[in-house]
Amino acid sequence: MIIQNDILLISLIYLTAGVVFFLLFWRLISVLKFELFVYMFRGLLASLIFTPWFINLQETTLAPALMVVMLDLITLGSAEVFRAGVPLLLSIFTFQVVALGFYIFKKRPAKKTSL
């Protein structure tokens, strides 16, 4: 059985690597001309990296949902992919809606006030 301190250390390492990769991706993707794609790609990557889900039904230990989906696909077959796949798809959809909202909010023209 995994000790709680090991889980915290592994989670801290994963989150640190995820944040560093996300920040590098943030800078790299900012060169695209079409800003809607920039927001959508950032939302997609954030949801793929940072969405947690339970490792199995009996434990309360969380892991990245993309990793759980892939390992379920390899070990348990395609029928078990939906256990972590549905929350991952909902997370992707939510992040895409939020990214679209940020894009629309940023593109909205500022009100001109006359003095």
Tell me the pLDDT tens digit for each residue of 43-79: 999 999 999 988 877 878 888 899 889 988 999 888 8
Rounded Cα gap, residues 83 and 67, in angstroms: 12
Q: Which of 9-13, 43-47, 75-79, 95-99 has the lowest mean pLDDT?
A: 75-79
Structure tokens at 91: 């997370």
**Arithmetic mean of pLDDT, 2-20:** 87
Look at the pTM and tell me if it is higher than 0.85: no
Q: Which among 2, 110, 20 is positioned nearest to 63, based on CA atoms?
A: 2
Rg (CA), the chain: 18
The whole-number pLDDT of residue 111 equals: 72
pLDDT in tens, 14-38: 999 999 999 999 999 989 888 899 9
Q: Where are the chain's structural domains?
A: 4-107
